[in-house]
């Protein structure tokens, strides 16, 4: 994959291994890490009105220490927790996080299901500044207490030293840090007997899958997991030489985007749902087989495949033949609307932007990311200080800046790609009460929905375990919740999910 923005999936190169030269004198021991003190959280009280119902709640903003086995603080993780006042019984508790790696959890916090929401246009596009917050009519707080957590190196979460950061900037290190945060939060707030949930987006779903196995092995069983724009098997996303999976699995998303921008031939996209299923069937039964044949395809077979690809992508047949029947994301995003001097959004294919270089073979930027980022950036800093009373001089790392390289090598399988789906499979086996809800955006090119379906269908689950997974499609992109109608639908899905999983029976 040639360009990945931190908001969705930032595949940062792992540091190269180095070898000390023979007889090189020993370097002096590194100075001890500066002591990190445990800060007192800020606790404030608020009210919102959601669908005519007043929700009174307590907000807690602070940082929890992550200690090593000696008790030394190696990092602090920033969080904002919302607990409903006056609630009776054991309320569900949901830990939520975004991904990156390198992205803070401001998106789920202020866009999806926190009590306050960044006000966007109804279709999720950026409104004119100055930007505003509004009461979130679709907050999950009526169903669950919420804890939004920033990964170490994002938001206000920090390692004690940059060198210690390397311990947490890997798949396993990140899962272990979040696992310790969850344990500590449960202990400090006496929430061990609450129904427990995880909610992740993008790389946050990679983390959630890894956490599901990690937590159950440490005595913490989950009631449910919400996966929004999912990736567990990275082989389904990487456009590498010799890896044909992504070319096939992203094709239904290309078709949805081309149809949205009216780039398909007349009559092809009259029924978008029927088109989506048609493309899925062709990918499964024909295109995947053609890609497997490689150079052994006959000229007639190549021509027939190119004809179909042109039908489903809106790209010229000759261009597809020149690309050897393999259209990576950069090619699609630059070519679909080149005649209009526009490029397509990677996170959300509904978004377009002016091409800065009409000859470029890669997008100059992601129009969807650039349209979404400013409102969230400008509003969060003011919100956390003015409304939550959290005072700090630290920079809030929304996208990048705090994570200095990410190591995927500790979670690679034989094929060389990170994969946390096996951890989720083990969690299903060890906890028969756990349920999973998956939200998929039809215009999401960062984590294409058909790649998610492929992963779920290749986990080796039993029929009963498969029945514990529910899915829904949304007419939106990677951040399905920025679109108001999709947010309303997501809320209904999640309400049902909590209702059926908070107190499960076998």
pLDDT in tens, 69-79: 999 999 999 99
Is the separation of the CB atoms in 66 and 181 below 8 Å?
yes
Residue partners of 371: CB distance under 8 A and separation at least 6:
125, 126, 345, 351
Whether 11 has a pLDDT exceeding 70, the answer reads no
CA dist 12 and 188 (Å) reads 34
pLDDT at 364: 86
CB 109 within 8 A of CB 199: no
Q: Which of 86, 105, 103 has its CA nearest to residue 94?
A: 105
Looking at residue 397, what DSSP letter applies? B
pLDDT at 5 over 80: no
| Tens digits of residue pLDDT in 371-411 | 888 999 889 999 999 999 999 999 999 988 899 889 888 66
Q: What is the pLDDT of residues 90-105, one digit of tens each?
A: 999 999 999 889 999 9
Q: Is the pLDDT of residue 133 over 70?
A: yes
Q: What is the mean pLDDT of residues 45-52?
A: 96
The Cα-based distances of 338 to 2, 308, 356, 392, 489 in angstroms read 19, 21, 11, 46, 34
Q: Is the pLDDT of residue 7 over 50?
A: no
What lies within 8 Å, CB to CB, of 484 at 6+ separation is: 120, 122, 123, 124
pLDDT in tens, 251-309: 999 999 999 999 999 999 999 999 999 999 999 999 999 999 999 999 999 999 999 99
Instruction: State yes or no: cis peptide before 130, omega within 30 of 0.
Output: yes
Tell which residue, 196, 221, 223, has the closest CA to residue 96: 196
* The predicted structure's pLDDT at residue 412: 62
* 427-to-95, 109, 215, 435, 436 alpha-carbon distances in Å: 17, 26, 9, 10, 11
Q: What is the average per-residue pLDDT within 156-175? A: 95
The rounded distance, in Å, linking the Cα atoms of 439 and 201 is 9
What are the structure tokens assigned to 34, written together?
Answer: 């500066």
Three-state helix/strand/coil letters over 460-506: CCCHHHHCCEEEEEECCCCCHHHCHHHHHHHHHHHHHHHHHHCCCCC
Q: Rounded to 10 degrees, what is the CA torsion of 213, 457, 95, 207? A: 60
For residue 3, is pLDDT > 70? no
Q: Is the pLDDT of residue 355 over 50?
A: yes
pLDDT given at position 491 = 98
Residue found by looking up tokens 């272990």 in the block? 176
- The 3-state secondary structure of 224-239 reads EEEEEEECCEHHHCCC
Q: Catalogue all structural domains in the chain, each as residue range(s) with its CATH number.
A: 42-235+373-501 (3.40.50.1820), 247-368 (no CATH)
| pLDDT over threshold 50, residue 150 | yes
For 339, phi then psi, to 5°, come to: -65, -20
Q: What is the pLDDT of residues 409-465, one digit of tens each?
A: 866 655 589 999 999 999 999 999 999 999 999 999 999 999 999 999 999 999 999
- Tell me the CA distances in angstroms from 171 to 9, 405, 410, one per residue in order: 13, 12, 7
Instruction: Indicate whether 110 pLDDT > 90.
Output: yes
289, 294, 295, 298 alpha-carbon torsion, rounded to 10°: 20
The number of beta carbons lying within 10 Å of the beta carbon of residue 95 is 25
If you average pLDDT over every residue of the chain, what do you get? 91
> Cβ of 258: how many Cβ atoms within 10 Å?
25
Placement of tokens 């890894």 in the chain: 210
Span 485-496, pLDDT tens digits: 999 999 999 999
Sequential DSSP letters for 4-35: --TTTB--PPPPPP--PPTTPPPPPPPPPPPP
Q: Residue 444's CB: how many other CB atoms inside 10 A?
A: 33
Q: Smallest Cα–Cα separation from 455: which of 255, 204, 206, 129?
A: 206
The answer to whether residue 349 scores a pLDDT higher than 90 is yes
| CA 257, 258, 259, 261 torsion-angle sign | positive
Could you give the CA distance from residue 250 to residue 276 in angstroms, rounded to a whole number? 12
> What average pLDDT score do residues 347-353 get?
95
């Amino acid at each position: 994959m040639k360009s990945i923005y931190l908001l969705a999936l930032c595949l940062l190169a792992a540091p190269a291994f180095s070898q000390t030269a023979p007889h090189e004198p020993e370097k002096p021991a590194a100075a001890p890490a500066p002591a990190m003190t445990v800060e007192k959280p800020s606790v404030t009280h608020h009210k919102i009105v959601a669908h005519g119902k007043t929700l009174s709640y307590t907000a807690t903003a602070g940082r929890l220490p992550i200690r090593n086995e000696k008790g030394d603080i190696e990092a602090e993780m920033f969080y904002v927790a919302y607990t409903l006042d006056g609630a009776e019984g054991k309320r569900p508790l949901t830990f939520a996080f975004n991904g990156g790696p390198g992205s803070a959890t401001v998106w789920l916090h202020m866009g999806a299901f926190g009590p306050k929401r960044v006000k966007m246009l109804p279709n999720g596009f950026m409104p004119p500044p100055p930007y505003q917050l509004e009461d979130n009519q679709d907050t999950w707080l009526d169903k669950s207490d919420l804890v939004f957590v920033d990964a170490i190196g994002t938001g206000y979460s920090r390692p004690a030293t940059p060198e210690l950061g390397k311990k947490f900037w890997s798949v396993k290190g990140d899962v272990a840090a979040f696992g310790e945060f969850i344990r500590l939060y449960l202990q400090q707030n006496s929430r061990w007997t609450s129904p427990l949930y995880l909610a992740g987006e993008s790389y946050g779903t990679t983390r959630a899958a890894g956490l599901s196995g990690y937590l159950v092995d440490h005595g913490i069983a989950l009631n449910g997991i919400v996966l929004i724009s999912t990736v567990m098997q990275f082989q389904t996303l990487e456009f590498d030489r010799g890896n044909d999976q992504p070319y096939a699995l992203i094709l239904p998303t290309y078709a949805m985007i081309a149809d949205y921008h009216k780039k398909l031939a007349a009559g092809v996209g009259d029924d978008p749902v029927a088109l989506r299923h048609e493309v899925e069937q062709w990918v499964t039964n024909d295109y995947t087989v053609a890609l497997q044949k490689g150079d052994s395809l006959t000229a007639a077979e190549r021509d027939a495949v190119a004809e179909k690809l042109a039908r489903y992508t809106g790209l010229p047949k000759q261009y597809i033949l020149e690309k050897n029947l393999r259209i990576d994301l950069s090619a699609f995003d630059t070519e679909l609307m080149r005649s209009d001097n526009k490029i397509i959004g990677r996170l959300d294919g509904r978004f377009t932007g002016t091409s800065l270089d009409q000859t470029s073979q890669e997008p100059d930027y992601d129009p969807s990311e650039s349209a979404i980022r400013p409102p969230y950036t400008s509003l969060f800093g003011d919100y956390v200080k003015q409304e939550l009373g959290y005072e700090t001089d630290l920079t809030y790392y929304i996208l990048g800046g705090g994570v200095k390289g990410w190591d995927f090598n500790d979670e690679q399988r034989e094929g060389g790609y990170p994969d946390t789906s096996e951890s989720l499979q083990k969690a299903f086996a060890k906890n028969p009460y756990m349920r999973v809800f998956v939200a998929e955006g039809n215009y999401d090119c960062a984590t294409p929905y058909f790649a998610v379906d492929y992963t779920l269908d290749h986990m080796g689950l039993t029929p009963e375990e498969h029945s514990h997974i529910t899915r829904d499609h949304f007419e939106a992109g990677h951040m399905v919740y920025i679109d108001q109608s999709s947010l309303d639908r997501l809320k209904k899905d999640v309400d049902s999910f909590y209702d059926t999983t908070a107190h499960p029976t076998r």
